[in-house]
Chain A
Amino acid sequence: MVKLLFFARLREELGTAGEELKLPEHVRTVEALRQHLMTRGETWKEVLGPTKALRVSVNHEMAKADTPVHAGDEVAFFPPVTGG
Chain B
Amino acid sequence: MTVRVQTEDFDVGAEIAALRKECPQVGAVASFVGVVRDLNEGDAVSTMMLEHYPGMTEKALEAIVEEAKSRWDILGVTVIHRIGELKPLDQIVLVVVTSAHRGESFAACEFIMDYLKTRAPFWKKEETPQGERWVEARDSDDQAAERWADDSRRG
A residues apposed to B, CB below 8 Å: 5, 7-9, 57, 60, 62, 76, 78-84
Docked-complex contact B56 and A79, CB < 8 angstroms = no
Q: Is the interface of B mostly helix, strand, loop or mixed?
A: mixed
Q: Is the CB of A84 within 8 A of B116?
A: yes
B99-140 at interface with A (beta carbon < 8 Å): 113, 116-125, 134-137
What number of B residues sit within 8 Å (CB to CB) of A?
27
Are B134 and A8 within 8 A (Cβ)?
yes
Bound-state CA distance A57–B121 (Å) is 10
Q: Which residue of A lies closest to B92 (CB)?
A: A84
How many pairs of residues, A versus B, come closer than 8 Å at their CB atoms?
68
Contact A81 B134 (CB under 8 A): no
Of the stretches B18-26, B46-54, B65-73, the one at the interface is: B46-54
The CA-CA distance from A79 to B138 in the complex, in Å, is 12
Q: How far is the CA of A5 from the CA of B50 in the complex (A)?
A: 17
Complexed CA–CA distance, A5 and B123 (Å): 15
Closest 5 CB pairs of A and B: A83-B122, A80-B137, A8-B123, A60-B56, A84-B117
Contacts of A8 in B (CB 8 A): 51, 123, 125, 134
Residues of A within 8 A of B155 (CB): none
B116 and A82 contacting across the interface, CB-CB below 8 Å: no
Q: How far is the CB of A52 from chain B (nearest CB, A)?
A: 10
Closest chain A residue, CB of each to CB of B114? A84
* Interface flag for B55 (CB, 8 Å): yes
> Is the Cβ of B124 less than 8 Å from the Cβ of A82?
yes
Neighbouring A residues of B34 by C-beta, 8 Å: 84
- Asked whether B122 lies within 8 Å of A81 as measured between CB atoms, the reply is yes
